[in-house]
Structure 1
Amino acid sequence: MGARVIQLADYRARRSALNPELAILDTTSELTDRFHFWSGASGQRYVHTVYDLIDCPEIPAANFLLVHREKSGRRTVLAIGHATHASGSLNLAEIRQRAARLGANEVHVHLLAPSAQQRRMIELDLRAGKIDGVSDDRIAATRH
């Protein structure tokens, strides 16, 4: 898997030059596509970075949601979990394998939990919020 480093300032400048009126909207759209908030049963909202399954980087110990996103933008959570290995590549391999089995095409990663105990509590809060497909019915979600 290759990586490409881009200079964000250069990218924005080129985009602004092409269509100055849409530059602000494009940046906002990029942010809303890049981040998503999911709420747990407690009402707490957790910000997740959104990655395409193929473009997902190695993941440190963190919370994740495996999501199927339709072309319409509708998202269905297929699984909720937390990565526990010290090796980011091992976490990524396990996430990709599970996502492929379930039919997920996005990985939503929450990186802000400071400890393993906190990651487990966030996972349980999200599961109790009934947003995952582990229960009998899959819950579809749109941006909120």
Structure 2
Amino acid sequence: MSETIRKEMRRDARAPANEPALVCREEQVKQPFHYWRGASGMRYLHTVFALIDCPLMGKVNYILVHRGRDGTRRPLDIGQTVSDSDSLNLAHMRRRGALLGANEVHIHFLPETARQRRAAEADLSSRQLGRTPVVCVSAPANDGAESVCA
């Protein structure tokens, strides 16, 4: 590994774990955004919703967040929606959020495939919640599965 890459990794390790995403002129943007950083150092842009105001969701990554009175945000759970039913996905996020004490849901819309959503979830969970990343390996399967995770 080159010295440049090592320096970049050390810099990313010191970077804030989460930060507001300033989009153009913040006062004109109706929906706030927030960055959360993964163990890889990659920043993931999330759209912020109040738990009660979160709309129906397809397959997305989410972070259930408690936002304190002082504005600090604490991640409580990181996951992804899995149902083909948008209303079931929303019900799951709201129920889980209510049980954990979340008052915000941060949605990461960008991953398009199940594999990309799993990778984002593992990266974010490792940094934000201290979870051990799940190891996935490619495996041939007749059922269309992309990988096997252990």
Give the TM-score taking structure 2 as reference length.
0.67
Residue matched to 2:38:
40
Structure 1 partner of 2:129: 132
- Pair 1:109-2:107 in alignment: yes
Task: Summarize the Cα distance change of 1:104–1:89 in structure 2 as closer, same or farther, 3 Å threshold.
Answer: same
User: Aligned to 1:119, which of 117, 120, 128?
Assistant: 117
Give the structure with the larger strand fraction.
Answer: 2
- The Cα of 1:32 is off from its aligned counterpart by 9.2
Task: Say how many residue pairs are matched.
Answer: 109
Query: Distance between the aligned counterparts of 1:48 and 1:108, measured in 2?
Result: 5
1:70 is matched with 68
CA contact (8 A) 1:53 1:96 kept: yes
Question: Which stretches in structure 2 are left out of the alignment for 5+ residues?
Answer: 1-24, 133-150
Q: Which runs of 5+ in 1 are unaligned?
A: 1-26, 136-144
Q: Which runs of 4+ in 1 moved over 6 A?
A: none
CA deviations on 1:82-103 (whole Å, 9 max, x unpaired) are: 0011111100000000000000
Taking a change above 3 Å as real, the CA distance of residues 96 and 30 of structure 1, as seen in their structure-2 partners, is farther
Contact 1:63-1:119 within 8 A present in 2 as well: yes
Give the number of the structure with larger relative contact order, counting CA–CA contacts within 8 Å between residues 6 or more apart.
Answer: 1
44, 50, 69: which one pairs with 1:52?
Answer: 50
1:29, 1:69 → 2: CA distance? Answer: 20
Task: From the superposition, tell whether residues 85 and 30 of structure 1 become closer, same or farther in structure 2 (CA, over 3 Å).
Answer: farther
Asked if the contact 1:79–1:134 (Cα under 8 Å) also holds between the matched residues in 2, the reply is: no
Change (3 A) 1:68 1:38: same
Q: Which amino acid aligns with 1:93?
A: A
Distance 1:132 1:29 in 2: 31
AA aligned to 1:113 is P
Secondary structure in structure 1 of the residue aligned to 2:34: strand
Which of 63, 79, 82 is the matching residue for 2:80?
Answer: 82
Normalising by structure 1, we get a TM-score of: 0.70
2:56 and 2:130 map into 1 onto residues whose CA distance is 24
CA RMSD of aligned residues (A): 2.2
